[in-house]
Amino acid sequence: MIRVEQLVKRFQAGGRDVLAVDRVSFSVAAGEVYGLLGPNGAGKTTTVRMIVGLLRPDDGYAEVDGFRTSSASDEVKSRIGLVTAEDGVYPWLTVREMLLFFADLYGVPFDVAQERLQGLSELLQIDTLLDRRCAVLSTGQKQRVTLGRALIHDPPIMLLDEPTRGLDVIGSQVVFEYIAHLRKQGKAIIVSTHQLDEAQRLCDRFGLLHQGRLEYEGTLRDLQQLTGRESLVDMFIGLLGQPVIGPLPAAG
Amino acid sequence: MNHEGLDSSRSLGAPNAAASSQETGASPVPTGAARPKRRASGRLLRLCLKELRETLRDRRTIVTLVLMPLLVYPLLSILFNRLLSSPRSNKTQFTCVIGLDVAKEDNEQFRNYMLLSEEVLRRRQAMRKSEDQQKSPASSVGGEQAGPEPTIQWWSGTNLEKPVAAGQVDVGVVVRRPNAARPGRTLQVQLLYRESSSLSQIGVDYLQRRFGAFNEQYLVERLQVVGVNTRPPIESEVRAIRDARPAVSLTTLIPLILILMTITGAVYPAIDLTAGERERGTLESLMAAPVPRLSLLTAKYVAVVTVALLTAVANLFAMTVTLVSTGLSEAVFGPNGLPPVLVAQVFALLILFAAFFSAILLAVTSFARSFKEAQAYLIPLMLLSLAPGMLSLMPGLKFDGMFSILPLVNIVLLARDLMEGQVNATLATVAVMSTAIYAVAAIAVAARIFGTDAILYGSQATWSDLLLRRPESRTAPSVSGALLLLAVLFPVYFLLANGLQRLDWLSMSIRLALSGLITAALFAGFPAVSSALQSVRLRDAFRIGPAAVAGFAAAAMFGCSLWPLAHELVLFSRTIGFNTLSPEQIQGAEKVVEALRQLSPAFVLFALAVIPAVCEELFFRGYLFAALRQRFSAAGTILITAVLFGTFHVVVTSGLSIERLLPSAFLGLMLGWVCSRTGSVLPGMLLHVVHNGLLLLIMIYRDALQRSGWGLAEQEHMPRMWLAAAAVTMLLASLLLIWGTRRRSSASSSGDR
């Protein structure tokens, strides 16, 4: 479903080039949850943005469902549901209006959107909030509305960039449970998060990013063998502690 | 035109939401890109509604919309009243504070004098009134009567300079005796007043009128005692006639205020809907949706214009109420007050202005990453837009060619002329057209900037990067680039064409050469530079490509047969009232033709037929067509380029002539059709050259033609036979064109994308 091939992104910082993403390649199949993990500034968010087509890669490409981001951006965008930590809401619109607006942006017919809105709001427990202005929602409620927004066009692919930032334990729980539910529906999902224990339980495969490079990739067992460490937390500490070695051949 | 079907079918059949539906069982989701066009227009409407809903629910919008006019106009009306109340209007009551500094022993004498002078004045007024009634009852305005009579409040003290300067006292009266040693009847009075205060001046008038009357009466009485004839050598009477044009031109001030108020209405929504998206964190999800940015921006634009218009309506209403209720409308527009037609016209102009300024605002605020940044960008814009407003306040400024294309100035001056009831239709048309073109270009810029990654993620990109950078190498110039170019070309061309007119001291051949140069630079040079900047190959940008021989043949036939119809269209335009050519202009044109006859026909043909034809084709059917064709259907592109082609020809050659709009647009339609069918700019060039050349030759050799019985007068209808022959040729050419290009169009419909 998702294929990322030798993606490169450079940024200008303080007058010199910084490699934010350095030849990253991986792929995610339908029904699979891929954990894109790494410390802050590792290049997770930049990678996600390049997959959606919000940033243009300097080299390499991303493919979704056989469509290249660079040449068929609308085809790619219509297949992706994007949730990011900075997602906002329209304070003056009601939850229902906002969700229907996004359904419209994705070209979902009105009656289908209505139906889906009903189903989604029950699942995400926002059905009582539908006619409230977004401005009065709590952080957790907003995040659930954002999830609903990303799903209103029933995309086969979900990209979740730190979907639990700012949420309490219960709020995070709802989100992760929902991700598991989405996997059952056969969606291809990329999650980037700092909640490693949750990620360890949820994701099928992992990609560990550090300084723009995909250092390790594979299932939990693969990673345990590669690094010789038990948990993701330990691997992380190892990753940050030891000097960076050359990238391993991507498993995908 | 087989091209049209392409757009809707271009991405159908993509392996779409199959993956999502196979497991969920949900109905397949048609993606935005694959939606048929019908839905897209409905969606645009819904997008507009969402933006409007968002803005109109915002309290801040409502404040500027409703509260501002409610507060501003009553305040303004007070200001207007002050401005208008010259000392001759006696509508309003003033209270004037007069400070008196007088020695105790002189106090009684001064009071006495004042009482006596009041008495004299009253007697005189009574006398004049009875005289007036004998003469004619109407002429009661005149002399001292017309002055305002303030209510006087006396105040006493010493050192009056201070209270006068502080405004505590309006007029200070310092009474002194000229020579204290020899008491007499004369008192010396010094009046202190503030120059800047009209109330102060009114007070001085009040006092001087009394002193003057008293002194006069005193002299008369003394002379009568001596037995001298007291009729003065000069008997004067002052009559005030109301100024038809008030000192401060309210007719300019009112549109300016309305325009400024409309701006205040548009500013907040413009910031909120662009920079606000980023600030709220909704911009990213918006950009992640498969919607063209131009659609998003158009929806936002409609919302901003709507709010601006609502503000304009609120302001116009408040202003009308204020003007009528305070009686100011009479002062400005004469005894009939504010005519409703004028209110409607001003409103139409405000619509135009709102459309223009909202576009500019969006273009500027799209650059901003936050509210604060947007406000910082807007301050220079506001100052910049104040300047033309101030300029238009200058009395005696004529609304002419140059000003009709200056953004904002043209609207303010047009509004002023409207209110003064003297509008030049041609200039008004040019002003409206150029404003519309600027607005479209600004929206194009906004769509290009809004939500780009530089704005979205704040990466450091320079402005030139934002405007010029293209993601991939392209095969056609961008729409926004083309619209921008158009916005530059139109005023520049207008200015140069007008300027060339004034150079009549140059010889005809030099003027022709200059005109050719200008045409080549503008219509071929500018687009070529623009294409190079966008790294589009010139062949692609100008649609220079091979075309079927039949296409050229049909173009030549059209070239021979279109002009009689174009001629009839000119006459038709004149009959429906589009007649802007004055007799002098026709005479001037005749002189030009006479001068042309003196030159070598080959040179004239080259300068006036070949160069304009080739260059205009390169721009209208080449560059512009290629750019617009990406966004619009073939028919839409033909129509838009034809209308623009017609618009440019309104300002071409001998000044301005609206009657050229229809025939030129018609020619543009045919040229567009030929260009679209053949897929190349070249046959159209042939058509254009033949068409222009024939018209020129007919003009140059008119006398010779008339002698040999092929007479054709400028103002007359064509002979029926000619029209019939032209129609048949056109028909044949059309058939030839369709037949000759059938293979190309079927090939392109399968090959295109």
Q: Which domains, ranges and CATH numbers included, belong to chain B?
A: 41-84+247-456 (no CATH), 95-226 (3.40.190), 470-483+519-753 (no CATH)
CA atoms within 13 A on the CB side of A169: 1
How many CB pairs below 8 Å do chains A and B form together?
Answer: 142
Q: Which residues contact B330 (CB under 8 A, 6 or more apart)?
A: B337
B644: tokens are: 């623009």
**pLDDT tens, position by position, B158-203:** 888 888 888 888 888 888 877 655 556 778 888 888 877 778 888 8
Return residues 698-727 of B near A (CB < 8 Å): none
Chain A's closest residue to B61, CA to CA, is A92
Q: Which 3-state string (H, E, C) describes B23-62?
A: HHCCCCCCCHHHCCHHHHHHHHHHHHHHHHHHHHHCHHHH
B453 touches chain A (CB under 8 A): yes
Choose among B19, B54, B285: nearest Cβ to A30. Answer: B19
What are the beta bridge partners of residue B172? B99, B192
pLDDT of residue B146: 44
User: For testing the chain A interface, which of B8, B10, B22, B29 should be mutated: the one with the most A CBs within 10 Å?
Assistant: B29
What digits encode the pLDDT tens for the residues A164-176? Answer: 887 788 878 888 8
Phi then psi dihedrals of residue B468, to 5 deg: -100, -25
Is B330 an 8 Å CB contact of chain A? no
Mean pLDDT of chain B: 77
Grade residue B20 by pLDDT with cuts at 50, 70 and 90. very low
pLDDT at A54: 86
Confidence of residue B82 (pLDDT cuts 50, 70, 90): low
Contact assignment for B284 to A82 by CB distance below 8 Å: yes
A74 and B14 within 8 Å at the Cβ level: the answer is no
Neighbours of B262 (CB within 10 A): 26
Across the interface, of B35, B50, B282, the residue whose CB is closest to A88 is B282
Return the residue in A16, A28, A50, A104 with the most chain B beta carbons within 10 A, the one to mutate for interface testing.
A104
pLDDT of residue A47: 92
pLDDT confidence band for B683 (50 / 70 / 90): very high
pLDDT over 90 (residue B671): yes
Closest approach of chain A CAs to the CA of B266, in angstroms? 18
Q: Look at residue B709 and tell me whether its pLDDT is greater than 80.
A: no
Task: Determine the average pLDDT of the residues in B567-596.
Answer: 75
Helices (H), A1-109: 44-52, 73-78, 95-105
pLDDT confidence of residue B341: 79
**Minimal CA–CA distance to B432: which of B417, B410, B457, B454?**
B410
Helix/strand/coil for B152: strand
User: What ipTM was estimated for this complex?
Assistant: 0.88
Instruction: Determine the pLDDT at residue B180.
Output: 59
Residue B657's pLDDT is: 65
Contact between chains at B280 and A90 (C-beta distance less than 8 A):
yes
Q: Å from A171 to nearest chain B CA? A: 20
Q: State both tokens at B364.
A: 């500027």
Percent of chain B with pLDDT over 90: 7
The pLDDT score that the predictor gives to residue B235 is 67
**Chain A nearest CA to B24, separation (Å):** 6
pLDDT tens digits for range B448-505: 888 777 777 765 454 545 554 544 556 778 877 788 888 888 878 877 877 777 777 7
Cβ distance of A156 and B20 shorter than 8 Å: yes
Task: Mark yes or no for CB contact A82/B19 under 8 Å.
Answer: no
Contact with chain A for residue B287, Cβ under 8 A: yes
Question: Are A154 and B29 within 8 A, CB to CB?
Answer: yes
Contacts B22 to A, Cβ<8 Å: 186
pLDDT at A191 over 70: yes
In the prediction, which pLDDT does B33 show? Answer: 41
* Probe site for chain A from B277, B285, B294 (most A CB atoms < 10 A): B285
The predicted pLDDT at position B229 comes to: 73
User: What is the percent of chain B with per-residue pLDDT over 70, rounded to a whole number?
Assistant: 77
The number of helices, as runs of H, and strands, as runs of E, in chain A is 9, 10
Residues 6+ apart with CB under 8 A from B394: none
Is pLDDT at B662 greater than 60 in this prediction?
A: yes
**B9 vs A: CB within 8 A:** no
CB–CB of B267/B375 below 8 Å? no
All structural domains of chain A, each given as residue ranges with its CATH number in brackets, are: 1-79+192-252 (3.40.50.300)
Residues 6+ apart with CB under 8 A from B486: B437, B440, B441, B624, B644
Where residue B291 falls (left for φ over 0; alpha for ψ -120 to 50; beta otherwise) is: beta
Ordered DSSP codes for B218-250: HHHHHHHHHT-----S----------SS-SS-H
pLDDT above 90 for A33: yes
Alpha carbon distance B744, B750 (integer Å): 10
B20 at the A interface (CB within 8 A)?
yes
DSSP helix/strand/coil, B270: helix
Q: Is the pLDDT of residue B89 over 90?
A: no
CA distances from B140 to A174, B123, B128 (A): 89, 16, 9
Nearby residues of B274 by Cβ (< 8 Å), 6 or more positions away: B300, B362, B365, B366, B368, B374, B446, B450
A242, pLDDT greater than 60: no
Stretch B560-564: mean pLDDT: 86
Kindly list the distances between the CA atom of residue B548 and the CA atoms of A210, B540, B553, B635, B730, in Å, as whole numbers in the listed order.
60, 18, 9, 21, 18
Which chain A residue's Cα is nearest to B299? A105
B14 chain-A contacts, CB cut-off 8 A = 75
Query: What gap in Å lies between CA A210 and CA A21, rounded to an integer?
Result: 9
- Specify the higher pLDDT residue, B414 or B252: B414
Quote the minimal CA–CA distance from B419 to chain A in Å. 40
Of A71, A79, A93, the CB nearest to B54: A93
The partner residue sitting opposite A104, judged by closest CB among B21, B43, B288, is B43
Distance CA B122, CA A244 (A): 107
How much is the pLDDT for B242? 52
Higher pLDDT, B20 or B241: B241
Q: Do A108 and B24 touch (CB under 8 A)?
A: no
Cβ-defined contact of A54 to B287 (cutoff 8 Å): yes
From B289's Cα to the closest Cα of chain A, the distance in A is 6
For position B135, what pLDDT does the model report?
54
pLDDT in tens, B104-129: 888 888 888 888 888 888 888 888 77
Give the residue from chain A lying closest to B40, CA to CA.
Answer: A107
Name the 3-class secondary structure at A28: strand
Q: Is B295 on the interface with A (CB under 8 A)?
A: no
Inspect the interface and report whether the beta carbons of B50 and A101 lie closer than 8 Å. Answer: yes
Contacts of A185 in chain B (CB under 8 A): 23-24
* Stronger pLDDT, B464 or B680, i.e. the higher one: B680
Question: Which is nearest to A188 in space by CA: A173, A201, A205?
Answer: A205
Q: pLDDT class for B580, splitting at 50, 70, 90?
A: low
Given a cut of 60, whether residue B26 has pLDDT beyond it is no
Question: Do the chains contact at B29 and A112, CB–CB below 8 Å?
Answer: yes
Q: Do B282 and A80 touch (CB under 8 A)?
A: no
Indicate if the pLDDT at residue A49 is higher than 60. Answer: yes
Q: Which two tokens stand for residue B195?
A: 């120059």
Which positions in chain A touch B43 (Cβ < 8 Å)? 104, 107
**Tens digits of per-residue pLDDT, B2-13?**
443 333 333 333
All residues at 6 or more sequence positions from B637 whose CB lies less than 8 Å from its CB, including other chains? B625, B628, B629, B672, B676
What is the model's pLDDT at position B34?
Answer: 41
> Choosing among B11, B53, B282, B457, which should be mutated to test the A contact, i.e. which has the most A CBs within 10 A?
B282
Q: Which residues contact B682 (CB under 8 A, 6 or more apart)?
A: B544, B545, B546, B547, B552
Residues B264-304: pLDDT tens digits?
Answer: 888 888 998 888 888 888 888 888 898 888 888 889 999 99
Closest CA–CA distance from residue B291 to any residue of chain A (Å): 6
Q: Residue A39: is its pLDDT beyond 50?
A: yes
The H or E element that residue A159 is part of is strand A157-161
pLDDT at position A144 over 90: no
A154 and B287 in contact by Cβ < 8 A? no
Chain B nearest-CA distance from A205, in A, is 21
**Pick among A50, A78, A123 to test the B interface (most B CBs inside 10 A):** A78
Q: Is A43 left (phi over 0), alpha (psi -120 to 50) or beta?
A: left
How far is it, in rounded angstroms, from Cα A122 to Cα A125? 5
33-62 in B: which are within 8 Å (CB) of A? 33-35, 39, 43, 46-47, 50, 53-55, 57-58
Question: To the nearest whole angstrom, how far is the Cα of B10 from the nearest Cα of chain A?
Answer: 12
CA angle B672, B677, B679 (to 5 degrees): 90
Q: Are strands B95-102 and A205-210 parallel, antiparallel or unpaired?
A: unpaired
Asked if B31 and A74 come within 8 Å (Cβ–Cβ), the reply is yes
Q: Please report the pLDDT score of residue B746 as a whole number.
A: 54
Provide the pLDDT for residue A28.
93
